[in-house]
């Protein structure tokens, strides 16, 4: 999943895809933090 998010983040260029890039960045940061993953319920992570 992280690999796909990194690819999307890398390929999302331009103002048209800004929201996708920001969402991918947030998701990668969230998945990378053990504390955050424990605190956020699984249904919100999906």
Per the document, the length of the chain is 46
What pLDDT does residue 21 have?
94
- Mean pLDDT of the residues in the chain: 86
Q: How many distinct structural domains can be found in the chain?
A: 1
What pLDDT does residue 45 have?
67
φ/ψ region of 14 (left if φ > 0, alpha if ψ in -120 to 50, else beta) reads left
Identify the domain containing residue 17 by its residue range: 2-45
pTM for this entry: 0.71
What pLDDT does residue 39 have?
81
* Token pair of 31 as six digits: 């998945």
* Token pair of 23 as six digits: 């969402």
- Cα 24 from Cα 4, distance rounded (Å): 9
pLDDT in tens, 14-28: 899 999 999 999 888
What residues have CB less than 8 Å from 44, skipping those under 6 apart?
none
């Amino acid at each position: 999943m992280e690999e796909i998010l990194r690819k999307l983040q890398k390929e999302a260029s331009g103002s048209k895809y800004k929201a996708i890039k920001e969402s991918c960045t947030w998701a990668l940061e969230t998945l990378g933090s053990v504390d955050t993953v424990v605190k956020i319920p699984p249904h919100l992570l999906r």
